[in-house]
Amino acid sequence: MKIFSAEQLHQADKVTTKKHEITSLDLMERAGSQIFNWLHQRLQGAPVPIHIFCGIGNNGGDGLVVGRLLIENGYSVTIYVANFTDKRSKCFLVNYDKVKSISKKWPVLMTSEEDFPQINKKDIVIDALFGIGLNRSPEGWVKKLIQHINTSESFTLSIDMPSGMYADTATEDFDAVVEANHVLTFQAPKFSFFLPETGKYAPYFEALDIGLDPEFLHTTEPLAQLILKPQAQQFYRQRKKYDHKGTFGHALIIAGSYGKMGAAILSSKAAFRIGAGLVTCFVPECGYQIVQTAIPEAMTLTDKEDDLITNIEFDIEVAAIGVGMGIGTKKETVAALQKLFSEAKAPMVIDADALNCISENESLLKVLPKQSVLTPHPGELKRLIGDWKNDFDKIEKTKKFSEKYEVVVLIKGANTMTIFGDMVYINSTGNPGMATAGSGDVLSGVITGLLSQGYDPLLASVFGVYLHGSAGNIVSQQISFEAVMASDIADTLGDAYIELFAKDPVPGGEQQQ
Ligand SMILES: NC(=O)C1=CN([C@@H]2O[C@H](COP(=O)(O)OP(=O)(O)OC[C@H]3O[C@@H](n4cnc5c(N)ncnc54)[C@H](OP(=O)(O)O)[C@@H]3O)[C@@H](O)[C@H]2O)[C@@H](O)CC1
Ligand SMILES: Nc1ncnc2c1ncn2[C@@H]1O[C@H](COP(=O)(O)OP(=O)(O)O)[C@@H](O)[C@H]1O
Ligand SMILES: [K+]
C-alpha cells in the first residue's frame, strides 16, 4: 500500500474533483459519511455524549458532516468550532450552514479557554481540528484545547490525523498533539503513523477509501510502501517438485564468541526454518560442540581461536553469508571482517557486532560489499550514521548512507523500515513481544536464508522482516507477549509461511493497524 505525502493527497483531491466531475463538497460528504457509518455501526444509537471539535479548514468540514449525520440519526452531539481565525474553507462554510439548517443546537464557537466544555471520561470526542493542512504547531488556547482533550481520558477518534501532527515532516511540539485512541484516515495512512516519535499518537488506525482518482494514485511515486499481506504474498516463491537442497542454497552463518554462542544457534536455526538448503555455522573453536549438539542439521566450521573469530576461512561454496551476531569487536575480529568483506562473493547480511566494528573502523566501510543487507537496531544505526534530530532526519540520513554505500539498511523496531536508496518499505507485522534478546539474530538468519534461496537482497529484507514479524505475532497469540523468546520466533517461521496463504487466518497472523 502506498504512503502519500500531504501535498500528494491535496493534489489527488484536485485531480479527482476535476476528472470525475465531483465537487470537493461531494468528497467531503463521502469522507464524513464513512466516518459516520463507522461510528454508527459501533454505537448503534447509544445515548453517549459526543463532542466534536472542528477547525475551520476541510478537516473541520469533515467534522461538521459527521456531526450533522449523527444529529440526524438521533445522537447526543455537541459541535464546537475552534474559531482561531476568521478564514474558513468553502466546504467548511457550506457544511456549517447545513448543520444550522437541521438543528436548533448550533455549533458552539470557541475563542478562548473559557469556552472549553467539560468532557467526561465516558464521553466520546471527535477530533476534527486539523488534518493534512496543518502548517505550524498549534499555540495558545488551541494548544490548551488539545491538552484539555488529552486530559479528559475519553475515547478520542481523530479524523484523518491526530490534530497537531504533520503527515510527513517532524512534529515540533508534542504537547500540542491529540492523543487519539483511533484514527480514521483518508485513502492511506500517513507516514508519521509508523514512526516511534509520532506513531504513539495514532496507536490504531484504519484507512478509508474515499475514491480518489485511481490513476493518480497508481502513477504517483509514494513516500513509502507499506507491506501488508497482499504484498507479502506476491514475494513468495513456490517450490517445484524436482527442487533439491542445492536449489535452496548453502547459507553460512558467521557468529558467536565465548558466552554468546546462542546468537549463532538462533541465526542458523532461523536460516533453516526459512528454507535454506544447507546451513554451515562458523564459530570460534569453543562453539563446536555447542552448535553440533543444538542443531544437528547444521554443519560446523571453527576458527583456530578458542573464544573469538579471528580468521574466517572456508572452502565451501556458499550462496549467502550472515555475519556479526555475538562476535564482539576485538581487533582480531575486525581484521577477519576486513578479509571477509574484501574477498566474499556471496550476498551478505551484516548484523550486530559486525556493524559495531564498521562504526569503529572506517577501513571496513571502504570494503563493504555492495548490495549487502545491514540490519541495525536504533543503537547500532546511531553508531553507524551518527545522531539524528528526529525520526524523519533518521530516515533521510539512512537513505544517504544506503545510497553512498549501495547497501540495504533496516531500521529495526516496531514497523521496521527497509531502506534502499530513496525507497522506503514499512513493515506491518510484529509486536512488543519481540523485544527480547536474540530476536534480531533470528531476523539475520531469516534474511540470510532467503538470500541463499535466491531472493534478491531487497526482497529478502522486506519479505524476511514481514515473515519474522508474522511469526512473532502468531507465537505471541499462543503464549503471550511476555513469554516470547527468540527461539520461539524461529520455530514459528513455518506458521508464518502457512498464514501467508491461509484461508482462515492463524490467530495473530495479521497485525491490527
Ligand atoms: N485529501 C483529500 O482528498 C480530502 C481531504 N479531506 C479533509 O481535508 C483535510 C485538509 O483540509 P485543509 O487543507 O483545509 O487543512 P486543515 O487540516 O483543515 O487545516 C488547515 C486550516 O488550519 C489552519 N492552520 C494550520 N495550522 C494551524 C495552526 N497551527 N494554528 C491555527 N491554524 C492553523 C490553516 O490556516 P492558515 O494557515 O491559512 O492560517 C487552515 O485554515 C484533510 O485532512 C481531510 O480531513 C476530506 O474532506 C476529503 C478529501
Ligand atoms: N515493539 C516492537 N514491535 C515490533 N517488533 C519489534 C519490537 N521490538 C523489537 N522488535 C523486533 O525485534 C528485533 C530486535 O532486534 P535486535 O534489537 O537486534 O535484537 P537482538 O540484538 O537481541 O537480537 C527486530 O527485528 C525488531 O524489529
Ligand atoms: K484531526
Ligand nearest to the CA of 444: 2
Sheet-wide strand order for 299-302: 2-3, 224-227, 423-427, 417-420, 408-411, 373-374, 348-350, 320-323, 250-254, 278-283, 299-302
First to last CA, the chain: 13
Distance in Å, CA 85 to ligand 1 centroid: 13
pLDDT mean across residues, the chain: 95
Taking the centre of ligand 2 as the mean of its atom positions, its distance from the CA of residue 223, in whole angstroms, is 24
- Give distance in angstroms: CA of 158 to centre of ligand 3: 5
pLDDT score of 45: 93
Grouping H, G, I as helix, E, B as strand and the rest as coil, residue 185 is strand
Q: Can you tell me which atom of ligand 1 is nearest the CA of 212?
A: 3
Give the model's confidence band at 246: pLDDT under 50 very low, under 70 low, under 90 confident, else very high: confident
Residue nearest to atom 13 of ligand 1 (CA): 133
Q: How many CB atoms within 10 Å of residue 154?
A: 20
Query: What's the pLDDT band for 512 if we cut at 50, 70, 90?
Result: very low
Residues 6+ positions from 34 with CB-CB distance below 8 Å: 184, 208, 210
Q: Which atom of ligand 1 is nearest to the CA of 12?
A: 3
Take atom 38 of ligand 1 and give the residue whose Cα is closest.
87
Average pLDDT over residues 208-217: 92
Confidence band (pLDDT; 50, 70, 90) for 504?
A: low
On whether the CB atoms of residues 484 and 433 are closer than 8 A, the answer is yes
- Nearest ligand to residue 4 Cα: 1
Handedness of CA 313, 317, 323, 326 (dihedral sign): negative
272 or 244, higher pLDDT: 272
C-alpha 287 – ligand 1 centre gap (Å): 61
DSSP, residue by residue, 226-294 = EE-HHHHHHH-----TT--GGGG-EEEEE---TT-HHHHHHHHHHHHHTT-SEEEEEE-GGGHHHHHHH
| Nearest ligand to the C-alpha atom of residue 64 | 1
From ligand 1's centre to the CA of 16, what distance in Å?
18
For the CA of 426, the nearest ligand = 2
CB of residue 431 inside a 6 A radius of ligand 2 = yes
pLDDT value of position 232: 97
Q: In this prediction, does ipTM exceed 0.95?
A: no
260 lines ligand 2 (CB under 6 A): no
Q: Which amino acid residue places its CA nearest to atom 19 of ligand 1?
A: 133
Binding residues for (6S)-NADPHX, as ranges, are 58-62, 131-137, 160, 263, 326, 377, 441
Contact 375, 457 (CB under 8 A): no
The DSSP bridge pattern shows strands 417-420 and 299-302 to be unpaired
Q: Which atom of ligand 1 is nearest to the CA of 137?
A: 29
Query: Which helix (H) or strand (E) covers residue 54, if one does?
Result: strand 50-54
Separation in Å, CA 466 to CA 413, 448, 453, 471, 483: 12, 14, 17, 9, 21
pLDDT at 421: 95
Residues with CB under 5 A from ligand 3 (ion): 127, 158-159, 163
Residue 409's SS3 state is strand
Q: Give me the numbers of helices (H) and strands (E) for the chain, helices first please.
A: 19, 18
> What distance in angstroms lies between residue 40's CA and the mean position of ligand 1's atoms?
25
Binding-site sequence positions for K(+): 59, 127, 163
Atom of ligand 1 nearest to the CA of 92: 14
Pocket lined around ligand 1, Cβ cut-off 6 Å: 9, 12-13, 27-28, 31, 55-62, 84-85, 87, 89, 130-138, 142, 159-160, 186, 210, 212
Query: What is d(CA 447, CA 363) in angstroms, rounded to the nearest whole number?
Result: 25
Record the pTM. Answer: 0.94
Cα distance between residue 133 and residue 445, in whole Å: 43
Q: pLDDT at position 509, please?
A: 54
Write out pLDDT tens, residues 298-308: 999 999 999 99
Q: What is the Cβ-side half-sphere exposure of residue 94, based on CA atoms within 13 angstroms?
A: 12
- Cα–Cα distances in angstroms (integers) from residue 2 to residues 83, 119, 135, 292, 469, in the given order: 34, 37, 23, 45, 20
pLDDT tens, position by position, 473-496: 999 999 999 999 999 999 999 999
Atom 28 in ligand 1: which residue has the minimum CA distance? 138
State the pLDDT at residue 21.
83
508 pLDDT higher than 60 = no
Q: Binning pLDDT at 50, 70 and 90, where does residue 244 land?
A: confident
- Ligand 1 centre to CA of 472 (Å) is 38
Ranges assigned E (strand) in 83-173:
108-110, 124-128, 155-159
Q: What does the pLDDT look like over 113-168, one tens digit per residue?
A: 999 999 999 999 999 999 999 999 999 999 999 999 999 999 999 999 999 999 99
Binding residues: 58-62, 127, 131-137, 160, 163, 263, 326, 377, 412-416, 440-441
Q: Give the pLDDT mean for 172-191.
A: 96
User: Does ligand 2 have an atom closer than 6 angstroms to the CB of 435?
Assistant: yes
Return the best residue to mutate from 382, 439, 476, 513 for the ligand 2 pocket (most ligand atoms within 8 A of CB). 439
Q: Is the CB of 171 under 6 A from ligand 2?
A: no
Domains in the chain, CATH or no CATH each: 2-222 (3.40.50.10260), 232-501 (3.40.1190.20)
pLDDT at 247: 87
Nearest CA to 202 out of 163, 176, 149 is that of 163
- Tell me: the pLDDT tens digits for 310-325? 999 999 999 999 999 9
Residues 6+ apart with CB under 8 A from 18: none
**Counting atoms of ligand 1 from 1, which one is nearest the CA of 89?**
14
